[in-house]
Amino acid sequence: MSQQLRPPSFSSVGKVLYLNEELRDLAVIVQTEVSQWKFPAHRLILAAESPVLRSKLEDETVNEIILDGLTPSTAELLLSYMYCGEFEVESWNEGTDLLEAAFKYEVEGLVQKCGRFLEDVISLSNVCYIYDKASMCSLQVLQHKCLKLILDAGFVVLRSEAFELLNKDCVMDIIASSDLNIDSELIVFETLFRWARIECCRTGLPITEANILIQIKPFLQHVCIDDMSDADKSALPPAILSCVKPNNRNRIGFSVPESLVIHSKCLELDINQNCLDYIGEHLSCLRFSIDSPIYLIGLRFTLVCNAVPLTLPLSLVKENTPKVTMFTHNLCTASSIQRTQVNQRVWHEIDILLRAPAFLKAGDIYNVYVMLDVGTDAQCPQTILFNNVLHTASGPVNFTVHGDDTWGIRHLIVI
């Protein structure tokens, strides 16, 4: 769609008349809990811009228009666009409010512009809110971008409270997709239970087991019951389990899509180039704990050696009982290795994405370490954590380093 939505001369007239009492023949009213806002307006401009307002203004005796459900700031943005063809929003919240207003009053050019603005501000923390509005306004490009992120980050989004606000069609598109990236099909059922309770409230139904089952039933044909273990199946209520039939449906394997990197957060450690340590058989690189749960999806590791060894296993172990190895990754198979020459040694910056997200619990102690054959001259530089607070989509996460030194680890990439 062309960005020029009206002839320049008309736009210039609108700018002169915007919030101008001169020649005004109408008042736009916005009512808040504590006050009433009154904007000067002109019938001709409002009728030209909004079919909804035009129908109300067909009655020539009307000299006030009430914009129900709008805040004064949203009403001002709406009028600014109607008069000037311009609007400025500072956050996605403002963007979704303005989109809803533009859709309600059928200001199609503004609907499209709000959609394009929101395409550029989608994040894990707001994707459900934006997806719901994109669905309501039939903005297909925005819907597609939101759905792609929700599917890629399903293991995070399905656990968020924002998911409960989605309408039924949005939830169906998500649950029915085989591309939904989750660590367990059980989370689909748990999410549907939460969503169904809120849906009962939205539709005025009592929150009873029977009504919850009514809300969930349409989705059950799309769950991948064949992916579930017997233990997970036993966790389901008998009434639900009796409604689910084997359907030979499967999800994609739990993984870390590259698209998640731009929505991730990075804990950065600084390098001390003057302090190196040989890896030897075993080198503990970073022992840490966190105060809020996160998913680790990748990291950056620095290795100093003239020739990269064929194998360099890096492992993450949860040290609390029971001790668990979260993953082991051969750093030498990483697709991204940047090399620089420093003091006659080659420094290798190795970026890896994990095969699957590693869920890190609050309070547990984790140890990242590397192992190497004896006799190899590979070293790691000392790294130092200066800022231990990371702001994620779920809120701030505090990292605590255990032990005196950290080695090799430059970045932890988390969601």
SS3 of residue 40 by DSSP: strand
Yes or no: domain 136-242 corresponds to CATH 3.40.50.10800: no
Cis bond upstream, residue 322 (ω within 30): yes
Q: Is the dihedral of CA 273, 279, 283, 289 positive or negative?
A: positive
Fold exhibited by the domain 10-121: Potassium Channel Kv1.1; Chain A (3.30.710)
Beta-carbon contacts of residue 48 (< 8 Å; ≥ 6 apart):
54
Tokens 């993984």 map to which residue?
255
CATH of domain 265-414: 2.60.120.820
Tokens of 6: 């009206």
Residue 81: is it exposed, middle or buried by C-beta count within 10 angstroms (0-12/13-18/19+)?
buried
Structure letter (DSSP) for residue 229: -
pTM for the predicted model, two decimal places: 0.89
Tokens of 61: 């005796």
**Domain boundary assignment for the chain:** 10-121, 136-242, 265-414
**Predicted confidence pLDDT, tens digits, the chain (415 residues):** 334 444 444 557 788 888 988 888 999 999 988 899 999 999 999 999 999 999 999 998 899 999 999 999 999 999 999 999 988 999 999 999 999 999 999 999 999 999 999 999 999 999 999 999 999 999 999 999 999 999 999 999 999 999 999 999 999 999 999 999 999 999 999 999 999 999 999 999 999 999 999 999 999 999 999 889 999 999 999 989 889 888 888 999 899 999 999 999 999 999 998 899 888 788 899 999 999 999 999 999 999 988 777 788 999 999 988 889 999 999 888 878 888 887 778 899 999 999 999 999 999 999 999 987 655 778 899 999 999 999 888 889 999 999 889 999 999 999 9
Tokens of 250: 């499967």
